[in-house]
Chain A
Amino acid sequence: MKPIKFILNDQPVEAHTNPSRRLLDVLRGDYGLTGSKEGCGEGECGACSVLLDGYAVNSCILPLASVEGRHVTTIEGYAKTQRFAVVKAAMGDEGGSQCGICTPGFMIAIESLLKKNPKPSEQEIRTGLAGNLCRCTGYNMIVKAVQKAAKVGEGLW
């Protein structure tokens, strides 16, 4: 079987495996990138979010074959960026991360949102994060963190 070639966290890779496997399983099992979590396993909770060509997707329902030739960025790759540093600080300041299981997915969703809309309104933030569930914060703290990141990081997105 032909390998699936894609760019993973800025490095070209060739995955020699069944192309129908869920991207999430390949990232965690084959590449040891365990920042992306399996929550619901059906595209509802967003814990498995990764960036596909810069925008969030649910890696628990995306077959590996669909990333052929494209850029996949996991939380581990995103963590090396200046934008990540800004969002991380804002999440810390506002209490947007508590137990932490949803946090990598939220970080990816926030990046995806700010890339498309660097100055989102509160409603736009809530719509942009609607695919991610958090059972600790009640969301308001995460919304505030996004507002802070957008302000502090103005010009980065």
Chain B
Amino acid sequence: MVRHVIPSSYREALVHLRDGSFHIVAGGTDIMLKYRNAADLPPRFERDVLYVLNLDELKYIHVEEGVWRIGALTAYETLLDHPEIPDVFKSAWIDIGGPGLRHVATLAGNIANASPAADGIMPLYLYDAQVVLESCAGSRTLPIDAVITGPKQTAIGPQEMIREIIVPKHDFDVATWVKVGTRKADAISKVSFCGAIKVESGVIKDLRLTLGSVAPTVIRARDLEATVKGITLTALEARLDALLDAYAARIRPIDDQRSTKHYRQQVARNLIEDFLKQQIRKG
């Protein structure tokens, strides 16, 4: 028989995680569907369940020098209402469900669920966000790429939970989000894209591109980004095709119920090309 535990404090939650094996339910908007049962029957949870949604001590957005710190149980709707969160985050998050879903769904839940199609986590890669994991034994801070290791795979240990997400501030000239899906009511991404750039006197100081739903995890090719840092937009234009080819080699999409490998490969390339050409034109 599955046990159901509602901890009254974060500390108590960590003690339960130390002593047992739990599904952690925050907003529950993914996990309740994953274990959905026939109508009017309880979900088919496979392990004991720890319900953490009401741990208010993990609901916060701290604006600090150089970073935002987002408590793990802060709902998406609260994040969307915050005046200082950059638009690129908000434009990705506003596409997640409707307000009713976003009043309970959390960014930390999207990280722990580790779907390669999750829209919410894409800007975290763009901003080099870090995730603080904690257990009774202590806490550790990992970059987002090290937390999500594959589809539905994470580095989060069985005794750990996400405490907070640290997002460094950046002054990009442009930071954009593009989602390619089907009709809005059924819009899990086929391909998603984030791009950000910082240019000074025609020279690229920073360029970051992330792609979602085209590989086992979100893609961010830091080595390719490094090859264009410090060059001019004119020089970028000259090597655009080579760069697009290099990205194409990193994109390893699959055929699934939402789209095909061929379509995703082409669309991902087009999204990168479109973003870079826009910057070159502006330059």
Contact A62 to B28, CB < 8 A, known contacts A52-B104, A57-B104: yes
Q: How far is the CA of A116 from the CA of B81 in the complex (A)?
A: 10
**Shortest Cβ distance from residue A123 to the other chain B in the assembled complex, whole angstroms:** 11
- Do residues A112 and B99 form an inter-chain contact, with CB atoms below 8 A? yes
The size class of the interface chain B forms with chain A is: 20 to 34
Chain B residues contacting A128 (CB-CB under 8 Å) are: 99
Residue-wise, chain B 73-104 has the 8 Å CB interface mask toward A (1 for contact) of 00001000100000000000010011111011
- Do residues A52 and B103 form an inter-chain contact, with CB atoms below 8 A? yes
- Do residues B100 and A65 form an inter-chain contact, with CB atoms below 8 A? no
**Shortest Cβ distance from residue A86 to the other chain B in the assembled complex, whole angstroms:** 20
Residue-wise, chain B 28-49 has the 8 Å CB interface mask toward A (1 for contact) of 1100110010011011010001
| Smallest CB gap from A25: residue in B | B40
For the residues of B in contact with A, the DSSP-based class is loop
| Smallest CB gap from A105: residue in B | B100
Contact A65 to B103, CB < 8 A, known contacts A29-B40, A70-B54, A132-B98: no
- Do residues B25 and A49 form an inter-chain contact, with CB atoms below 8 A? no
| Smallest CB gap from B50: residue in A | A65
Chain A residues numbered 19-77 whose CB sits less than 8 Å from any CB in chain B: 19-22, 25, 29, 38, 41-44, 46, 49, 52, 55-58, 61-63, 65-66, 68-70
Chain A residues contacting B6 (CB-CB under 8 Å) are: 4, 19, 65, 68
- Do residues A43 and B101 form an inter-chain contact, with CB atoms below 8 A? yes
- Do residues B99 and A131 form an inter-chain contact, with CB atoms below 8 A? yes
B137 at the interface (CB under 8 A from A): no
* Sample of 11 more A-B contacts, CB < 8 Å, known A56-B99, A109-B99: A19-B4, A20-B4, A20-B45, A43-B97, A44-B185, A49-B100, A56-B103, A57-B101, A57-B104, A58-B101, A66-B54
| Chain A residues packing against B (C-beta within 8 Å) | 1, 4, 18-22, 25, 29, 38, 41-44, 46, 49, 52, 55-58, 61-63, 65-66, 68-70, 109, 112-113, 116, 127-133
